[in-house]
Structure 1
Amino acid sequence: MTAELVRGQNHPLSQVRLEIRVSAGAPIVAGATIGDEHGKVHGAEWVAHPGAPVLPGLEVSRQAAADHRLAVDLDAVPDAVHRVSVLLALPTGAGGPTRFGAVPAPSVTVTGLDGTGVAAYTITGLEAESAVVALELYRRQGAWKVRAVGQGYAGGLADLFTDQGLPEAHQLAGSINEAVAQGLARSVPAPPPRTPDTDRSRQTTAPALGPDQSAGPAPHGTSGRVPPQPTSPYGTEPPAGQQSTSPYGNQAPGAPGQPTSPYGTPAPDTPEQSAPQPSYPGGAGATDASAPTAGGPVNYSHPRRQNAAPPPPPPTAPPAQPEQPAQPVAGDATGWSMDERLYNQVWGMFEDLARTTAAYRSAVDFADSRMEKELDQVLSDPRSRIGGQGDAAREAARAKHAQLVDQARAALDRDITQLTAESEVVEPALPPAYARWDNPVWHGYRVPMEIPMALRVGDLHLPESAELRIPLLVRLPLERGLWIDSGRAGSLDGSFTDSHDLRRLGMETAVAHAARLLAVYPAGEFTVHVIDPAGSGAQALAPLVRTGVLAAPPAAGAVGVAEVLARLTERVDLVQMAVRGGAADSLPPGFDTAEQLLIVNDFPHGFDDRAVTQLRYLADEGPAVGVHLMMVADREEAAGYGPLLDPLWRSLLRLTPVPDDHLADPWVGHAWTYEPALVPPGSQVLQQVLTQVATARTKYT
């Protein structure tokens, strides 16, 4: 039975391998410090945080999140350590709350390897504090106990570390905040929560006001899908009701001693979109049971319905035989439409692959550390150095290591096989907004009547499952701009060393993304502007120019740059004033209510200080009022402007024109290899789609 602690209360620990679960109502940073018998932290190497998440016997999350799993092995901590303090902090500069009094009270639960609760503590009474020591595990007379602390610090991590005696407290706090900012910048963004009365249909009588800014980060679960049940790397099935295994591998109930890690256990299904998700799919060629049979657009809002989203229709495939995995079915997740069900299903696949790979990697790490420890014990015993006893012990340690790794790999392979089968079913069912350019669905393309949920911008995969591709989609309307990195750092294998080729390929990638955006919006509801100061992108821009889908010819020279930026910044100002004044219907006659996309090539060529300031303004303020930015640039070439542009790069989602491992998932922080969604060489699909867009726009106007 879980002991509910109050501030200052302690409780004995009967186990040394533990999981500490943190739950909060907003993204927070979780870390830990180790201290000596007086509680003093002797240096930065005694602190586990997102920038350095692993210490002996301790592993914490790698980025800010609303939920965390921290792994603790008290037998593995150094003998000099007598105290492990779990700390929580609000990330700085992330645009979220700056004090714990503005968020729900965080809770911390200590559990055993099997998930059984040992002690729990809800941290109440916080107000202006932005960092807090939640609880501590401490050693007394050879035994370990847990104490509820709840000590908050209004000065944040710097004050917390100073109180624990850390000499370089302010420097370490700054490096942690920097690591968290970098993690947030490169992680796949989560879509806003889905509410029953959300209306995603386009309002043509009002200006485009961009995404709902009230949405926050989302929890895992909306999908409603049942993820593949990963098995333990040690070959045991997880207990009934348990949704996934630990990276170290969960044991069968009653089996002693196999450690688990926080990252392999997904949160229980809750209404999704709060757990991170990149934007995902809708179905092509599939019939939506909830859609009207007449030809009009689907009403996603259901204003008269207050109940939850309907469950997915039962699969038509025959029930699976015992001991066999269920046959995958496209759209088996919860949602109002087939598009939404497919979106949630692909999101669930993304999370499943992230977590099962984390389980495998942690199991291998555990096997490595276990073998190393056993070999050290052999070498430290003089008796094992004579005769064959030492050789036999070393061989046994290696055999045990190989067995553990093989069992972990077998569990991973089973999950990958099931996810691959699901991908083979889902991929052909995706509608144009989520399909690859080589998908036959584009042959039947027609300009849509409403905006889809999301847009595919590429694929993601991991080294352990290189053949399994997970679509990367971003929610629409865009919530942040896109940066197509044309620098040499964007080449994973180093095959692209010619800067001219990378810039050309970067611009072709930007055109492919822009064409897809034009294709998935209704006629007249998406406008594209281009700034090409030196005209170097003329060849790549030819499909957009030739079909006439651009608002105007690409702007060239300093004069063209200034004119386009002035027009778009004025648009942002007008819409902001109208919205704040509650007069969105009083905009000037002829005001373009469509979403606006600005493509900037060869930045910073042709940009003076004023133009740079306007560009940063559009990146910061534009998305909320329907003005979006897509930059094709090499960050190193823009270094002449100094650190002033750092916030600009961080505000954009970095994509590369060649495969690169720069994106992180929002659960365990894997570095995923990203591949852009490019048009196959020699294909005419781009020309055909843009021609239809241009024809529909002519009829619309």
Structure 2
Amino acid sequence: MTAELVRGQNHPLSQARLEIRVSAGAPIVAGATLGDENGKVHGTEWVAHPGAPTQPGLEVSRQAAADHRLAVDLDAVPEVVHRVSVLLALPTGVGGPVRFGAVAAPFIAVTGLDGTEVASYTITGLDAESAVVALELYRRQGAWKVRAIGQGYAGGLAELLADQNLPEAGTLANSINDAVAQGMARSVPAPPSRTADSDRHRPQTAPAVGPDQGGPTPTSPYGTQGAPGAVPPSPATPPYGEPPQNTPASGYPAASGDPSATSGGVNYSHPRRQNTTPPPPAPPAPPAQPGQPGQPVAGDATGWSMDERLYNQVWGMFEDLARTTAAYRSAVDFADSRMEKELDQVLSDPRSRIGGQGDAAREAAQAKHAQLVDQARATLDRDLAQLTAEVDVVEPALPPPYARWDNPVWHAYRVPMETPMAVRLGDLHLPESDPLRIPMLVRLPLERGLWIDSGASGSLDGAFHDSHDLRRLALETAVAHAARLLAVYPAGDFTVHVIDPAGSGAQPLAPLVQTGVLAAPPAVGAAGVTELLGRLTQRVDLVQMAVRGGAPESLPQGFDTSEQLLIVNDFPHGFDDRAVNQLRYLADEGPSVGVHLMMVADREEASAYGPLLDPLWRSLLRLTPVPEDHLADPWVGHAWTYEPPLVPPGSQVLQQVLTQVAAARRSWNR
């Protein structure tokens, strides 16, 4: 059970290796001090801060951020240390809030390495303070405990450090503030090679712009198979390009300067990083044995926060798997081509077609072929073993937006205070690497709608052939996607609507309806379809006029500025020609102004509309309710197998998460 502490309360710690997670409503600085049995900090070398983020048994973040993860190993701290105090402060000289009373109450959680929450503390009652001792881990009679402190200081870091008897308090506070303001801890050295094989490393340049972010559609620099024996280059972006409607919209956003971006009021443009300072380096990996690959580490990538480092690491694993599999396939193609060529040369001479000479030539060619294939497979197996070890480390460390539904991190779920950079929509794998799975992460806000295909599926296992089962499973998949989107957005920032004209989806939709997370009951009948589509179409028109006119403040008072998601079930039942045109309009124009579409439909059932609906299907990202190899990769010619993120049978995690989301929405609406 998680202990929810109040100020002054303590709780025993049964684990030595811990993670301290900090969430705040604005970027803050996180640090820690080491104290002796009297609580005295003996010098600046006893303080971990952005300019010096590591101390024995302790690592803190290297920059200011709204969310932090501090690593603690109590067995590794020196014996003279009896107290570890966690410090939070608002950065100075960089703009933003100057007192904690102007931001949301900081939330602190002490967790195990598996994400299980041990104790938590919400620091309430802060006003003019700009620095606070959040909590302390202290040693008592050979055992460690955690105590909620919540002691604030209006004089900032200097006053806080001076209160801990640090003689150089003012100087150290200034150096910490300078490190944050000037980016002193943000230089990016080349990270160590991920394996001993120097030709397998992550590209260190910033990813290029993909087609969904305003850049050109990528084309493969080599064919679908590549030159015989060639090793395809690692793609510069997450290799999802623009094969028709079957390609995920993911990757990094374009550079700043989007003319659609507006200042003040409502801004529906995709978030873009304005700071041109390079992100901080990834934490160093443990040293490897000579000739052996490095030990995998969660967060082994550059980024401004742990979530961004994990996001970049996941995409790095995707690129590594795409590249090593392409190299293996290319080597096998080369071996096949070489054997055929050698056999053709032998058999072209009639004298070699009879007797033992022809048989010997065939055996020799086949032996060379087997040797080349075995060598390629050995290299692939080595790379897959390294990637599998990395996935085993990264998967348990993923935050809720990136985690599977069976990840223990959901047991400690709390409604977030800011939107994450991406969300998980399923898993990806290739036939050569089964059972290795790579999370499929898509950037937020969504730049394309989603289409959950309820039609005849080419599922790999052939388990679903009944149309009724597929429709039910497709809607359950849509509900799981909608629940995750609701869970990763702050309260009041995401609104879900449902169209179910015939009421056929009552059972799969029950988690959304019964928990009260929907904006209104599902729209039914032709009248319900018309009313809801008309309302959302009008919303798109209003926001577009306001943004294009440069007057977002002109929106009506009380206008709902949250992101909107419309789930459409049983299309085209209940849709007339006008409703179909409105649906196409929402699919095309909605994402840019915060209205997103999730279609649960069988394309064949809408075939009566002919080519009229072709642009609709192409504008949506097609996902399936069962595993299917339909996601195309134009960089190396792979067809990735997609697996939907279904909730484990019998699990109550969906109800528990949606119940918390509903409670947060009610509190926000008061």
**Aligned with residue 587 of structure 1, among 551, 555, 559:** 555
Partner-residue secondary structure (3-state), 2:478: helix
Partner-residue secondary structure (3-state), 1:311: coil
User: Where does structure 1 differ by over 6 angstroms across 4 or more consecutive aligned residues?
Assistant: 24-28, 71-74, 112-115
Identity in percent: 76
Q: Is residue 2:596 matched to residue 1:631?
A: no
Letter in structure 2 aligned against 1:211: H
Which residue of the partner structure matches residue 250 of structure 2? 190
- TM-aligned CA deviation for residue 314 of structure 1: 2.0
**Aligned with residue 521 of structure 1, among 489, 493, 510:** 489
Q: Does the 8 A contact of 1:207 with 1:592 survive in 2?
A: no
Separation in 2 of the partners of 1:191 and 1:365? 30
Q: CA 1:506/1:67 → structure 2, altered by over 3 Å: closer, same or farther?
A: closer
Letter in structure 1 aligned against 2:416: P
Q: Does the 8 A contact of 1:458 with 1:674 survive in 2?
A: yes
Q: Does the 8 A contact of 2:249 with 2:448 survive in 1?
A: no
Which residue of the partner structure matches residue 456 of structure 1? 424
Letter in structure 2 aligned against 1:342: L
Letter in structure 1 aligned against 2:280: P
Separation in 2 of the partners of 1:544 and 1:587? 29
Which residue of the partner structure matches residue 209 of structure 1? 268
Which residue of the partner structure matches residue 312 of structure 1? 282
Q: CA 1:330/1:64 → structure 2, altered by over 3 Å: closer, same or farther?
A: same
Which residue of the partner structure matches residue 175 of structure 2? none
Q: Does the 8 A contact of 1:371 with 1:397 survive in 2?
A: yes
Q: Does the 8 A contact of 2:246 with 2:631 survive in 1?
A: yes
TM normalised by structure 2 equals 0.64
Separation in 2 of the partners of 1:313 and 1:398? 47
Q: Is residue 2:562 matched to residue 1:597?
A: no
Which residue of the partner structure matches residue 662 of structure 2? 694
Separation in 1 of the partners of 2:411 and 2:421? 21
Matches within 5 A, 1:186-265: 186-193=246-253, 206-207=265-266, 209-211=268-270
Separation in 2 of the partners of 1:359 and 1:73? 9
Which residue of the partner structure matches residue 403 of structure 1? 371
**Aligned with residue 610 of structure 1, among 578, 586, 605:** 578
- TM-aligned CA deviation for residue 313 of structure 1: 2.3
Separation in 2 of the partners of 1:67 and 1:508? 36
Q: Does the 8 A contact of 2:400 with 2:410 survive in 1?
A: yes
Separation in 1 of the partners of 2:299 and 2:225? 39
Which residue of the partner structure matches residue 677 of structure 1? 645
Separation in 2 of the partners of 1:640 and 1:72? 38
Separation in 1 of the partners of 2:224 and 2:653? 50
Separation in 2 of the partners of 1:406 and 1:398? 12
Matches within 5 A, 1:112-191: 183-191=243-251
- TM-aligned CA deviation for residue 382 of structure 1: 1.4
TM normalised by structure 1 equals 0.61
Q: Does the 8 A contact of 1:561 with 1:607 survive in 2?
A: yes
Q: Does the 8 A contact of 1:64 with 1:184 survive in 2?
A: no
Matches within 5 A, 1:548-587: 548-587=516-555
Letter in structure 1 aligned against 2:246: R
Q: Is residue 2:448 matched to residue 1:480?
A: yes
- TM-aligned CA deviation for residue 387 of structure 1: 2.1
Separation in 2 of the partners of 1:691 and 1:666? 41
Q: Does the 8 A contact of 1:26 with 1:66 survive in 2?
A: no
Separation in 1 of the partners of 2:231 and 2:469? 54
Separation in 1 of the partners of 2:644 and 2:231? 41
Equivalent pairs counted in the alignment come to 449
**Aligned with residue 68 of structure 1, among 202, 221, 239:** 221
- TM-aligned CA deviation for residue 68 of structure 1: 1.7
Q: Does the 8 A contact of 2:245 with 2:618 survive in 1?
A: yes
- TM-aligned CA deviation for residue 194 of structure 1: 6.8
Which residue of the partner structure matches residue 656 of structure 1? 624
CA RMSD of aligned residues (A): 2.8
Separation in 2 of the partners of 1:557 and 1:73? 53
- TM-aligned CA deviation for residue 405 of structure 1: 0.5
Deviations for 1:519-550, whole angstroms, at most 9, x for unmatched residues? 00000110000000000000011111111100
Separation in 2 of the partners of 1:307 and 1:577? 35
- TM-aligned CA deviation for residue 321 of structure 1: 1.4
Matches within 5 A, 1:263-412: 306-315=276-285, 317=286, 319-412=287-380
- TM-aligned CA deviation for residue 208 of structure 1: 5.5
Partner-residue secondary structure (3-state), 2:611: helix
Q: Does the 8 A contact of 1:210 with 1:478 survive in 2?
A: no
Partner-residue secondary structure (3-state), 2:381: helix
Q: CA 1:422/1:666 → structure 2, altered by over 3 Å: closer, same or farther?
A: farther
User: What runs of 5+ residues in structure 2 fail to find an aligned partner?
Assistant: 1-206, 233-239
Separation in 1 of the partners of 2:591 and 2:224? 39
Partner-residue secondary structure (3-state), 2:221: strand
Separation in 2 of the partners of 1:452 and 1:628? 17
Q: CA 1:666/1:452 → structure 2, altered by over 3 Å: closer, same or farther?
A: farther
Q: Is residue 2:589 matched to residue 1:621?
A: yes
Deviations for 1:431-474, whole angstroms, at most 9, x for unmatched residues? 00010000000000000000001110100111101110000111
Partner-residue secondary structure (3-state), 2:447: coil
Letter in structure 2 aligned against 1:308: P
Separation in 2 of the partners of 1:657 and 1:365? 33
Separation in 2 of the partners of 1:465 and 1:27? 26
Q: Does the 8 A contact of 2:253 with 2:270 survive in 1?
A: no
Separation in 1 of the partners of 2:231 and 2:455? 47
